[in-house]
Amino acid sequence: MSEILSEKSCRAKPLYVVLPFVVTVFWIGVSVLAINYFYSRTGRFTSGSVLAVLLVGVVLILISGAGIWQGLAYWRRFRLTLSQEAITKVVGTETNMISMDEISHLNWRSISGEIIISSAADKIRINLDHFKRRDQRDIIGFLRTMVPLEQQEKWEPFSAAHRHTIDPHVPLTRRERLVTAFWLIATVLIGYQWWIESAWPYLMMALTGVWLTIRSYRGT
């Protein structure tokens, strides 16, 4: 309880930096493979097809690289601070703050994973997907404890939809176990296909399958 009541500052997940980086690496790989393919057919790096692929690849890599810079800037300037006095959200140059005694309404959105905090003069939207799992639990616990219950709306469907976030030790339901097993089996089969054929699309599908399996096992 003392951890919930103490001031906490949350930053966005590094996904906004990692994702553009992964996309940049992806376009580099695709460009290299495409250039190698057209070079094997023409035998010249100066052929029109090779130069066209090179131009498109450079443009896509530069766009993705700019995304890394923008993502890093967003991550550094994004902060949510929870305290007994106020809730403050900073995004870039914009700052929204609502004092705890000014909160008139709190809406738990189960589908979008948003928490909307309203006062007479302002509104703060908290999207849980922007934060790490531990920060999500702290945010939920803080608001559920500090905001009067009569001002909270739709907690029951929200707590049911996000029960694994609230309590990571809660067991999976039968449906969740079946979905996890499906993604695991599909990932193993696609991974075997990649091992046999060494085709990069199968590798990308297998990595996606690993990610989906982990998310399903965690209940997210």
Summarised one tens digit per residue, pLDDT across range 35-76 is 888 888 888 877 888 889 889 989 988 888 887 777 777 777
Judge whether residue 3 has pLDDT over 90: no
Give the pLDDT mean for 195-212.
Answer: 85
Percent of the chain with pLDDT over 90: 34
> Please, what is the average pLDDT of the chain?
86
What's the predicted TM-score (pTM) here? Answer: 0.66
Residue 61 corresponds to which tokens in the numbers above? 């890599």
Give the pLDDT mean for 149-166.
Answer: 90
Judge whether residue 6 has pLDDT over 70: no
pLDDT confidence of residue 20: 81
DSSP lists the bridge partners of residue 11 as 79
Question: For residue range 95-129, what is the model confidence (pLDDT) as tens digits?
Answer: 899 999 999 999 999 888 899 999 988 999 999 98
Reduced to 3 states (helix: H, G, I; strand: E, B; else coil), residue 44 is coil
Non-local (6+) Cβ contacts of 80 within 8 A are 9, 10, 11, 87, 88, 89, 90, 126, 131, 139
Residue 186 corresponds to which tokens in the numbers above? 């599909």
Q: Where are the beta strands (DSSP E) in 68-185?
A: 78-82, 86-91, 94-99, 103-108, 114-119, 123-127, 152-153
Over the Cα atoms of the chain, what is R_g? 23
Asked if residues 219 and 163 have their Cβ atoms less than 8 Å apart, the reply is yes
Judge whether residue 5 has pLDDT over 70: no
